[in-house]
């Protein structure tokens, strides 16, 4: 193992990752897609960590994002060469792929049916415990990494079909086999997610703070129990910091159809009036 010098406390995740990167370096039997997946996981985790820093290192972020792009490009080329054989990483079978992919990054396996998927998965797991831990360890962290990157997608101008945005932990959407064909779009989303890491490097860094702050959060402390809108109360009451997730939730509600956007604007207009009224009442 590397590094004798200073001791540091490793979280479980870090310990797993350290073991995995050693496995990457020393093992020749590790299949290439698995290696690629490991590197991709590490990259996204690092990007996630950097985003949480007050001032991320631009040089490192660029290098990591380029690596992510390169891997995604490779995956995209592979999938475009084998369109039929793309196996959904979102396996309906709960016994296969406990790890990878509620978030849209998927492994490629040369199989077309779910039955074969299971077989392939089993053969994968036959590789050994290291590969198992690889698949299993990064689930939650990957999801959170991707979801935070997806959060930034809120600010991208590109509009994608709502079903392509996969909220973390929402299993209902994942079970749909139609999601297989959306994997490519997921990749593009992640790619854009990686790219828009740099959005926060703009000169006015303070605007990243403003971007993260959803407009709805501003109104969260306003008591809206008197306000009788069916559309907006779930929006306001839901304690969901990511604006993207909030928007998505809104979109998936049956009561909020294509006019949901208008409803939101109506809500906001009314809320600003309410705010104004409150100010007068409070006399501030």
Partner 1 sequence: MGGRAGSVGLAGLFGAEPDRVWALAGQYGARLGPALRSLASVGGGAGAGLGVRSAPWGLSWGCPRRSPSPRSVSAGVAGGGGGGGSNDFQWCFSQVKGAIDEDVAEADIISTVEFNYSGDLLATGDKGGRVVIFQREQENKSRPHSRGEYNVYSTFQSHEPEFDYLKSLEIEEKINKIRWLPQQNAAHFLLSTNDKTIKLWKISERDKRAEGYNLKDEDGRLRDPFRITSLRVPILKPMDLMVEASPRRIFANAHTYHINSISVNSDHETYLSADDLRINLWHLEITDRSFNIVDIKPANMEELTEVITAAEFHPHHCNVFVYSSSKGTIRLCDMRSSALCDRHSKFFEEPEDPSSRSFFSEIISSISDVKFSHSGRYMMTRDYLSVKVWDLNMENRPVETYQVHEYLRSKLCSLYENDCIFDKFECCWNGSDSAIMTGSYNNFFRMFDRNTRRDITLEASRESSKPRAILKPRKVCTGGKRKKDEISVDSLDFNKKILHTAWHPTENIIAVAATNNLYIFQDKIN
Contact residues for partner 1, defined by CB under 8 A: 1-6, 17-18, 21-22, 24-25, 35-36, 38-39, 42, 54-55, 57-60, 62-67, 70-71, 192, 195-196, 198-199, 201-203, 205-206, 209
Asked if residues 77 and 49 have their Cβ atoms less than 8 Å apart, the reply is no
- Write down the least CB distance from residue 126 to partner 1, Å: 23
- Judged by CB, which is closer to partner 1: 51, or 240? 51
- Write down the least CB distance from residue 46 to partner 1, Å: 8
- Judged by CB, which is closer to partner 1: 117, or 131? 131
Counting every residue written for the chain, the total comes to 284
Element (H, E) at 104: none
Tokens coding 171: 């299993």
- Judged by CB, which is closer to partner 1: 28, or 282? 28
* Residue 175 CA: distances (Å) to CA of 1, 12, 137: 40, 29, 21
How many Cα atoms within 13 Å fall on the side-chain side of residue 169? 7
- Write down the least CB distance from residue 25 to partner 1, Å: 5
Spell out the alpha helix ranges (H) of the chain. Answer: 12-26, 32-52, 58-81, 114-125, 129-137, 139-153, 171-174, 183-195, 206-212, 215-218, 232-237, 243-252, 260-282
- Judged by CB, which is closer to partner 1: 65, or 271? 65
- Judged by CB, which is closer to partner 1: 57, or 255? 57
């Amino acid at each position: 193992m590397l590094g004798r010098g200073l001791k540091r406390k490793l979280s479980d995740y870090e310990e797993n990752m350290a073991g995995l990167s050693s496995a990457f370096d020393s093992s020749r039997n590790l299949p290439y897609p698995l290696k690629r997946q490991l590197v991709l996981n590490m990259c996204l985790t690092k990007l996630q960590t950097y985003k949480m820093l007050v001032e991320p290192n631009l040089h490192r972020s660029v290098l990591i994002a380029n690596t992510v792009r390169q891997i995604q490009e490779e995956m995209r080329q592979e999938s475009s060469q084998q369109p039929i054989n793309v196996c959904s990483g979102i396996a309906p079978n709960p016994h296969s792929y406990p790890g990878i992919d509620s978030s849209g990054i998927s492994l490629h396996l040369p199989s077309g049916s779910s039955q074969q998927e299971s077989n392939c998965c089993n053969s994968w797991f036959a590789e050994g415990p290291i590969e198992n831990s690889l698949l299993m360890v990064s689930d939650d962290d990957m999801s959170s990494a991707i979801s935070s990157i997806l959060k930034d997608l809120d600010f991208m101008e590109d509009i994608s079909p709502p079903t392509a945005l996969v909220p973390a932990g929402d299993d209902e959407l994942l079970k749909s086999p139609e999601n297989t064909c959306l994997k490519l779009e997921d990749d593009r989303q992640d790619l854009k997610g990686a790219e828009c890491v740099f959005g926060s490097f703009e000169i006015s860094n303070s605007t990243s703070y403003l971007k993260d702050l959803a407009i709805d959060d501003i109104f969260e402390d306003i008591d809206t129990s008197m306000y009788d809108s069916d559309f907006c109360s779930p929006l306001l009451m839901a304690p969901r910091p990511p604006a993207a997730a909030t928007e998505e939730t809104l979109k998936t509600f049956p009561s909020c159809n294509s006019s949901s956007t208008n409803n939101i604007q109506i809500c906001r207009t009314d809320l600003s009036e309410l705010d104004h009224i409150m100010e007068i009442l409070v006399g501030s």
